[in-house]
Amino acid sequence: MTPLPCPYVCPKGERCPGHIVKVEAFNADLRWTFDESGNWTFNHSQARSEYHLFCSEKGNHADDRHPEQMRCYLSGMPDELLIVITSSAEPPETMQTVPNAVPEAAPMPPEPIGPP
């Protein structure tokens, strides 16, 4: 696959020579569920909001005048990038289970020693 060109256009009309190297999704729904059998299950969905694009030349172009060019919604994403995002994401119904995992935030209570 050829690199995806950076969508940023400078105020003078010059296109950034870089290419997309990273995409971050914001407002994605992540969920961990502890079930009756003692397993943790992870599930996720597509992001509901913005995707932030990062370029090989200037990252997210935050220092430039129009950094909003590096943000997009799924509905306005360039077709080439949309193919990458949707083909590499697991379907929402795909879940990962971790058997008998105990979260560190809820440690097991110590065993009592001797009579109460």
Within a domain: 68: yes
Whole-structure pTM value: 0.60
SS3 75: helix
Within a domain: 74: yes
- In terms of DSSP H, where are the helices of the chain? 79-88
User: Which pLDDT value is given to residue 115?
Assistant: 63
d(CA 45, CA 116): 48
Within a domain: 114: no
Cα Rg, the chain, nearest whole Å: 22
The tokens of 56 are what?
Answer: 């090989």
Looking from the CA of 96 toward its CB, the CA atoms found within 13 Å total: 8
Within a domain: 113: no
Within a domain: 2: no
The rounded average pLDDT for each run of 10 residues, N- to C-terminus, in the chain (116 residues) is 87 92 84 88 75 90 81 84 72 48 51 62
Type of residue numbered 2: T
Question: Is the separation of the CB atoms in 96 and 42 below 8 Å?
Answer: yes
Within a domain: 65: yes
Q: Of the candidates 80, 114, 91, which has an alpha carbon nearest to the alpha carbon of residue 45?
A: 91
User: Which pLDDT value is given to residue 99?
Assistant: 52
Q: Of the candidates 5, 8, 114, which has an alpha carbon nearest to the alpha carbon of residue 67?
A: 8
Domain that holds residue 63: 20-27+49-92
User: Which pLDDT value is given to residue 102?
Assistant: 47
Q: How many domains does the chain have?
A: 1
Within a domain: 6: no
